[in-house]
Copies of this chain bind each other. A is one copy, B any other.
Amino acid sequence: MTESIRDILASCGFFAEVREDSLDRLASMARRKHYVKGEQIFRQGEPCPGLFVVGAGSVRVFKTSPSGKEHVLHIIGPGETFAEVAVIGEFPCPAYAEAVQETSTVLLPSGPLIRELESNHALCLQLMRGMARWVRHLVSLMEDIVLRDAGERLARHLLEASAGESQPFALSQLKKDLASHLNLTSETLSRTLRRLADAGLIEQLGSQRLRIIRREELQHLADGVYPKL
């Protein structure tokens, strides 16, 4: 819990290949920020304070519509970062961020970080690759939302979240947040899980854990080959 700034930065993929001395420089410009459950980290439209690295806890990044609906873009866990895009593009926060639980982060303030980027080529390359991954993820999320129905979307998500193995695993977020991420209501998510369970493709173990029983068929469903349900 009381990891040092250095430790948290080092645990983050973005800074994996950065040289020791520049890691020190980054650490010296960084501040720790701590948030209680439900606390707002920043609001859409605010100037972006900098790049956040999560040390412990998790953060919900989401957008809202005028009518009050919200869409969670991403849940960020330990070792992951957020707001990097706004820092680099130097535009205001494009979304809201809020702590799901008690969360500790490291903040690399925009100004110094941008200056560091001007001179630190390795860091620049890293961030660029990180952003490329983020774009790919976004595009694939969009693809899901636009091209697939609820069942296919959910199947794809479960396959990815289960990380390959057929052991029971925990959803890394509340069902309602997962539903929002997949652009579903929690009611529909609930019903869809039920159908998968009834068809014997998965098994629900309590409300946060589940197990994939017939990975093969779930994969077919995700690919849209399966005769639906």
A residues within 8 Å of B by Cβ?
63-67, 69, 71, 73, 85-86, 88-89, 91, 94-95, 117-118, 121, 124-125, 127-129, 131-136, 138-143, 145-148, 183, 223-225
Asked if B136 and A135 make an inter-chain contact with CB atoms under 8 angstroms apart, the answer reads: no
**6 residue pairs from A and B, CB less than 8 Å apart:** A88-B129, A91-B136, A94-B140, A124-B125, A128-B131, A138-B139
Measured between beta carbons, the chain B residues less than 8 angstroms from A65 are: 143, 147-148, 224
Asked if A134 and B136 make an inter-chain contact with CB atoms under 8 angstroms apart, the answer reads: no
Measured between beta carbons, the chain B residues less than 8 angstroms from A117 are: 125, 128
Chain B's closest residue to A114 (CB) is B125
Q: In the bound complex, how far is the Cα of B127 from the Cα of A136, in angstroms?
A: 16
Q: A71-B142, A89-B129, A121-B124 are in contact. List 8 more A-B contacts (CB 8 A).
A: A63-B143, A63-B147, A64-B147, A65-B224, A88-B131, A124-B124, A128-B128, A138-B142
How many copies of this protein are present in the complex? 2
Asked if B142 and A69 make an inter-chain contact with CB atoms under 8 angstroms apart, the answer reads: no
Kindly name the residue among A71, A86, A131, A148 whose own CB sees the greatest number of chain B CB atoms within 10 A: A131
Chain B's closest residue to A127 (CB) is B128
A128: contacting residue among B88, B133, B138, B225, CB under 8 A: B88
Q: In the bound complex, how far is the Cα of B223 from the Cα of A227, in angstroms?
A: 40
Chain B's closest residue to A142 (CB) is B142
Chain B's closest residue to A67 (CB) is B224
Asked if B142 and A141 make an inter-chain contact with CB atoms under 8 angstroms apart, the answer reads: yes
